[in-house]
Structure 1
Amino acid sequence: MNRLFFQPHQAGLTKVEAAKHTLRNINPDVEFEVHNYNITTVDNFQHFMDQIRHGGLNDDKPVDLVLSCVDNFEARMAINTACNELAQVWMESGVSENAVSGHIQLIIPGETACFACAPPLVVAANIDEKTLKREGVCAASLPTTMAVVAGLLVQNVLKYLLDFGSISYYLGYNAMQDFFPTMMMKPNPNCNDRSCRLQQEEYKKKETKQPQHNLVVEEEEELIKHESNEWGIELVSEISNEELKAASGCVPELPEGITVAYTVPKNQLDDADVTGEAVQETEESLEDLMAVMKRL
């Protein structure tokens, strides 16, 4: 946030207020609603869930999609808990502390792995992430890496909401090698999040109710496109080396899978004087030989 579009004259504003002002100048047609609070506290978490449940633009409906751009595991786990409980589709994103890699992830409760299904080591081992950071020291960050990951996230949002292209369930980015790993992670049946396990059961019930289509493949009769053959064109199958040897001249021994494209027809080999006498040397000059040729 501070490195991407924070402006000097916005000093003193909260991040959300500064973001609102900057984004409104970029696109004044977009409606912004800002809340400057910590979603991990009990009261704020409940308000956060209410905003997901009733924050849609049309008549108190849920939001279409939740985007996570937070910078710590605790906030991600709070978003994960809320979305699992509400069966809300969301996209998680982040940039690593080494500043040269990041990822985006589409999470569909019950269908794909949630953030708690395959958590980072810090979360899995119940380690307080605050103990991993030195006080007053900011993790490394590169605006270029953040911009790339943000662009990948927005592109995936457009594909999901507008229903085009192939949606990335997980897409990583390694700036050191320009490597973009992609995959889809299935939910963990033993996930620590109870709501995630319940959503998995609901998804299984929906899958069993889906009609099973028996695919019947019928062989289509090959149609003749051209009854007449004015030019006498014929299609011939590929022939083996043995067939070539019988039909034409000498064929070299070739490895399996390799064949010659053309050989001299056998009758031409028979008619050719391949054992003719060598040309005898002569003492006649070039002018004399040319005169002989003219008299022929």
Structure 2
Amino acid sequence: MNRLFFQPHQSGMSKVEAAVQTLREINPDVIIEAHNYNITTVDNYDHFVERISKGSLTEGPVDIVLSCVDNFEARMTINMACNELNQPWMESGVSENAVSGHIQLIKPGESACFACAPPLIVATGTDEKTLKREGVCAASLPTTMGLVAALLVQNTLKYLLAFGEVSFYVGYNAMQDFFPKMTMKPNPACDDQRCINRQHEYQEKLAAQPKSKTPQIVEEEVTHETNEWGIEVNIEETPGDTGGQETGSYQPELAEGVRVAYTKPAADPDPAELPPTASGDKESLSDLMAQLKGL
């Protein structure tokens, strides 16, 4: 924010105060409600949730929440509040080196929330404070920030005014001018229980919708008039073969150029839920060897 429109005469003002002043000068017809506090604290969180649920011009829920914060805790707080309220929101961010960024539309239960696919250091349990950042410049490049902000606003306009195709995720890599685009489904093993509840509600909503009357196309089995040698093609699956991924782990469908750096291991099964083992005496190896010699 301070690289985009913070002005020299606003030195000493908080970012919130400076933003309100500049934005009112740009468009005085827009009603701006400013709150300068930390949303991650308990008291401020309650007020934050209240303003989302009653902050519209009709004193009802807002249409959408836009996130432009710069830290993980604040993003998780917004994610938690929007999952609690079933509130659609758009998350955005720019990398530390200022040459890449992204926007992401999050609909609780329908698409992945921010906790469904957390950053790598969070998923692996690494303490952010212990990371060495040698050679990394925590830069802010106005061009990159401006491009990401424009993508965020454009996607918001399409969402609110219902035109064009609203994107669930658009990335930006300034080094290659690369724009990966994809849709991430919600993680059924998400750590946020509110997200799990919203997923169930969304699935129930889909199940309650009337079935499509579109006739189903039945594919005919391919047969050959002659098959002298009786050749059959069967697909064999090796038990336990999961393609190099953790069994039961969440695997999102990724766009070209995007890869998963870490998958959350599947939880160990509850011993009480495992099937009972076969009972009875088992023959020892020596007994089996003796039987074989007697054949």
TM-score for the superposition, normalised by structure 1? 0.70
Q: CA deviation at 1:141?
A: 1.8
Which residue of structure 1 lines up, in the alignment, with residue 71 of structure 2? 72
- Structure 1 counterpart of 2:25: 25
Counterpart CA distance in 2 for 1:112 and 1:133 is 33
SS at match of 1:80: helix
> Stretches of 4+ moved more than 6 A in 1?
none
Deviations 1:194-228 (A, max 9, x none): 000000000000000000121159xxxxxxxxxxx
In the alignment, the residues of structure 2 paired with residue 133 and residue 97 of structure 1 have an alpha-carbon distance, to the nearest angstrom, of 13
Distance apart, 1:82 and its partner CA: 0.5
- Maintained 8 Å contact 1:104/1:149: yes
Partner Cα separation in structure 1 for residue 130 and residue 74 of structure 2: 16
Counterpart residue identity of residue 92, structure 2: S
1:146-171 alpha-carbon deviations (Å, 9 max, x no partner): 00000000000000000000001000
Q: Return the offset for 1:133.
A: 6.7
* 1:70-109 mapped onto 2 (5 Å cutoff): 70-109=69-108
* Distance of 2:126 and 2:35 partners within structure 1: 29
Superposition RMSD in Å: 1.7
Checking the alignment, whether the CA contact within 8 Å between 1:73 and 1:123 is kept in structure 2 is no
1:45 aligned to 2:45? yes
1:1-296 mapped onto 2 (5 Å cutoff): 1-58=1-58, 60-132=59-131, 139-216=138-215
Distance 1:142 1:38, change over 3 A: same
Partners of 1:163 and 1:74 lie apart in 2 by: 31
Conservation of the 8 A alpha-carbon contact between 1:100 and 1:145 = yes
Shift of 1:56: 1.1
What is the CA-CA distance between 1:129 and the residue it aligns to?
2.5
> Is the 2:168–2:182 contact (alpha carbons within 8 Å) kept by the matching residues of 1?
yes
Q: Counterpart of 1:168 in structure 2: which amino acid?
A: S
- Percent identity over the alignment is 71
TM-score (norm 2): 0.70
Q: Which structure 1 residue ranges, 5 or more long, are not aligned?
A: 218-296
Q: Is the 8 A contact 2:96 2:137 kept in 1?
A: no
Where structure 2 has 5 or more consecutive residues not aligned to the other structure, the ranges are: 217-295
SS at match of 1:4: coil
Aligned to 2:241: none
Distance 1:46 1:93 in 2: 23
Q: Which amino acid aligns with 2:25?
A: N
Q: CA deviation at 1:132?
A: 3.2
CA distance in 1, matches of 2:30, 2:78: 24
How many residues align structurally? Answer: 215
Task: Give the CA deviation at 1:111.
Answer: 0.2
SS at match of 1:71: coil
| Paired AA for residue 208 in structure 2 | K
What SS does the corresponding residue of 1:9 show, helix, strand or coil? helix
What whole-Å deviation, never above 9, does each CA across 1:116-145 have from its counterpart, x for those lacking one? 0001012212333333377xx971221100
In the aligned structure 1, how far is the partner of 2:182 from the partner of 2:143? 24
Q: Distance in 1 between matches of 2:121 and 2:215?
A: 50
Structure 1 residue 176, shift from structure 2 partner: 0.3
Query: CA separation in 1, counterparts of 2:159 and 2:193?
Result: 27
Provide the rounded CA distance (Å) in 2 between the counterparts of 1:138 and 1:61.
42
Q: Is the 8 A contact 2:91 2:104 kept in 1?
A: yes
Amino acid at match of 1:146: M
Q: Which has the larger radius of gyration?
A: 1
Counterpart contact for 2:97–2:137, Cα < 8 Å: no
Residue type of the alignment partner of 1:3: R
Work out whether residues 90 and 106 of structure 1, in 8 Å CA contact, stay in contact via their aligned partners in 2: yes
Q: Larger relative contact order (C-alpha < 8 A, sep ≥ 6)?
A: 2
